[in-house]
Each structure stands twice: as structure tokens, then as C-alpha cells.
Amino acid sequence: MTANNALLCVAAVLALALLTSTWDLKLRPKVQQAAGAAHPLFPPVKQEKQSLRETLSWRPPHPPAVEDPHFPPQFELKSPEAPNSVRVICMENSIRVEAKRDLLGIGQLIKPADITLGVCPSTGEDTQDQVLIFESELHECGSQLLIYEDTFDYVFKLQYTPSPLGNTPIIRTRNITVSIQCQYQRKHNVTSSFLNPTWTPFSDAKVSEESLYFSFKLMTDDWQFARPSSEFLLGDMMKFEVSIKQFHHTPLRVMVDDCVATVVRNTDTVPRYSFMGNNGCLFDSQVTGSSSRFLPRSQEDHLRFEVEAFKFQQDYRGVIYITCNLKATAVTAVVDSGNKACSFANGWTEASGVHEACSCCDRDCGTGSWPRVTGNRGHLTSTGAEWKEEVAVGPVTVKERPLSDTS
């Protein structure tokens, strides 16, 4: 190797060493700084958090103002109108009720099984007009007979109880009870004989039939008014007033020949309790030890008696019907074994004071019994100078008196 070549090689080595040293000095501080190591020539730089020196002006947005509701001018809430959905036809011995299936008038058709007339289901349906039909005798379907001085009324209840819709627990109608009443005037066989002069002999049966009106009703405790309720508790006194309204007659005296209690409106059924008979003998006080009695008579055309409330054994309903045979005679007729009003309390006494007329009450008074008028309300029968009619009150409900708490 020549001397020139040797010098070139030494120079190249020195240049390479200088270049390597320079790059090492540039890169090492960055590596040490990244590693967190101190370097004598490059101490670490201290970092400070930048503080916020200005107050922020941002605020959360306010909720929108609540505006008052706006109603249409002259708005009126319409009152619901009762739909004309029930039609009643009162006939001589029966009743017909027609009820629209849209009973409430809201477009909801009721189910036929959900509506009854008292205890009776519908007897037919007009599918074209969507009308349910109920037909019943006047004394059927749980009707109630109310007897007044000039009229007697049969009252029915049309009852609707909605069942849930489909398989849901909801309904869109409500329970409804419609009171239905058929009223009949207490007129008896009015004929052209009404034009006869008022001095027609008293024994003329036709004149008597058209101008006699028997009344049999429950009274309030003070005897001043007809009792609005026929519900009693055991121990109560049921007060009855019998009267007769007359027009073309000499004065009349009213009597009660016999009375029977039953659980239905039929005197020929069992159980039955005959608490008055033998032509005016009130047996109840003698047989049961009750306080039942006739009140002293103050008017010839009125007669009052009271019976201690009772119910039939094992009859959980406590419903009874009282049917009596009434009789009218001239006030000039003698009060005797066939025409009397007798009560028992340590012996028999008569409401008019003629007590000897009651002497036959413990045996057969010998006057017999007159046939009952059945199935023909308001019909009078006459025998000589006597006029008779069968009348009824009911249903009368007798409930048990609640016991006081002894615990």
C-alpha cells in the first residue's frame, strides 16, 4: 500500500467517527426525555397546566313557556240524552216490553243473556230492528202489585248487567235498572146501567158493581199514610187498612172474612198460613201468642188490623203475599157471627164493641165460606145485600233483625 492510500484510509475513519458522534448527541436527549431520565446537558422541561382565566358565558337553555290551553269559542259540554230504547205495552192480563239492543244509544249492542225482565229472559228477538222482546203475565217475572184506593199497579224491573267483552276484563256499558209500571183503574163492570137514577134500589147488583171500590193497603206506623215500603223486620207490626169507596149507596160497613199468607201469588199453594178466618176471627194472636189484633172501629167504611211480621220456616227470601177476602154490608145490618171483626187477647173482643158476635170463633161459626175469586182481579160478587172481593198485598219482605255485637 502506498503512502497516499494509507493517508486516505485514516482520513475516512476519522470522518466516520466524527459523523457518528454528531448523530448520537442529537438523538440521545429525545430518547432520555421520553424515558424520563435526566441528562446533564439537557435537564427535563417542567410542564404546567394551563389555567382558565376567563369565565364561561354558556348557560343551559330555559324550558319553553307553558301556554294556556285554547278552547273553541262558545263551547258547551252537551248533556247526555236518555235514549228512547224501551217500549212498554200494558194489556189486560199481560205485559209486553221491547228493548233495543243498543240500550244506551251509544252503538254498543247488548248481549241478550245480559238483560232480564225481573227473573225472566227475553221471549223473542226482532233481528231486523235489533229489538229484544219480553212477554209476561202481570203476576209473573217477580212483579210487584201495589194497591191504591183508585188504582192497582203492577211494577216490573228491566235489569241489565253487562258481561265482559270477549276474553277481556273490560266493559263499555253499565248496569241499568228500568222501572216499568202498568196501572189499572179500579172500575168494575161499567155498563150502560150507570145512567140509572141514583135512587136505584140498594139490592141492584149492577149499580153496586159499578160504584164500589175496595181498598187494601199497608199503612205507616201512625196510620196517616200508605206505607211506601213493603219491607219489615221480624218483630215489626204490619199495619193493614181496609176501606170501601162508595157513590150510589146507602152507607156501608166493610169487613174482612179471611186472610191467608203464601210465598207466591197463589192461595192454593204450600206453605200457606191462614191467620184469619171463620168470617172475621183473627187467629194469629191465639195460635202464636202475638200482638196481632183489630183496632177499634172508628168508621164504618174503614177497618184496621195489624199482624206481627213473620216468615215461613226455611224460606231464606222472607217473601210473603197476603190475600184477603173483603166484604161490604149495609151499616144497618146486625154485627153477628157472620159479620164481625174479632181479636183474641185473654178472650175474644169485637172491633165495634159487639163482643158476643165472637163467641163462635173457637168453633165453626156456621156461616160457611164463600168461593174465592181467582184469576179475575177487581171483580165483585154480590149475594143479597153483601158485596165481596178478593184483594192482595205483596210481595212483602220480612228480614231477620240483626243481633248486637256481644264480643
Across the range 125-154, mean pLDDT stands at 88
Strand stretches in 31-189, DSSP E: 86-90, 94-100, 115-117, 124-126, 131-137, 144-147, 151-160, 176-185
Residue written as grid cell 228477538:
125
**Average pLDDT of the chain?**
76
- What pLDDT is attached to residue 376? 33
Residue 186 has a CB neighbour count (10 Å cut-off) of: 19
Q: Where are the domains of the chain?
A: 86-183, 187-399
- What pLDDT is attached to residue 311? 86
C-alpha distances in Å from residue 130, one per residue of 115, 124, 307: 14, 11, 49
Instruction: Pull the grid cell for residue 155.
Output: 211494577
Across the range 290-307, mean pLDDT stands at 94
Q: 271 in the Ramachandran plot: left (φ > 0), alpha (ψ -120 to 50) or beta? A: beta
pLDDT in tens, 172-222: 666 788 889 898 886 533 332 232 232 323 333 333 344 678 889 999 989
42 contacts: CB under 8 Å, gap ≥ 6:
29, 32, 33
pLDDT: which is higher, 70 or 321: 321
How wide is the angle at C-alpha 38 spanned by C-alphas 37 and 40, nearest 5°?
145
Three-state SS string over 240-258 comes to: EEEEEEECCCCCEEEEEEE
* Beta bridge pairs of residue 339: 336
Minimum mean pLDDT range among 11-15, 32-36, 393-397, 400-404: 32-36
Q: Are 122 and 85 in contact (CB under 8 A)?
A: no
Residue 369 has a CB neighbour count (10 Å cut-off) of: 12
Query: What pTM did the predictor assign?
Result: 0.48
% of the chain beyond a pLDDT of 70: 63
CATH label, 187-399, candidates 2.40.50.140, 2.130.10.10, 3.10.20.30, 2.60.40.4100? 2.60.40.4100
Minimum mean pLDDT range among 124-138, 323-337, 341-355, 359-373: 359-373
Q: Are strands 86-90 and 293-294 parallel, antiparallel or unpaired?
A: unpaired
**How far apart, in whole angstroms, are the C-alpha atoms of residue 406 and residue 214?**
48
Is the pLDDT score of 331 beyond 60? yes
CATH class of the region 86-183: mainly beta
Is the pLDDT score of 96 beyond 80? yes
Cis before 80 (ω within 30): no
Strand stretches in 206-246, DSSP E: 212-218, 231-233, 237-246
Instruction: Pull the grid cell for residue 337.
Output: 157471627
Domains 86-183 and 187-399 share a fold: yes
C-alpha distances in Å from residue 399, one per residue of 232, 315, 394, 406: 6, 11, 15, 21
Across the range 307-313, mean pLDDT stands at 87
**How far apart, in whole angstroms, are the C-alpha atoms of residue 184 and residue 226?**
18
Q: Are strands 94-100 and 86-90 parallel, antiparallel or unpaired?
A: antiparallel
pLDDT: which is higher, 400 or 296: 296
Cis before 61 (ω within 30): no
Minimum mean pLDDT range among 5-14, 45-54, 227-236: 45-54
Is the pLDDT score of 281 beyond 60? yes
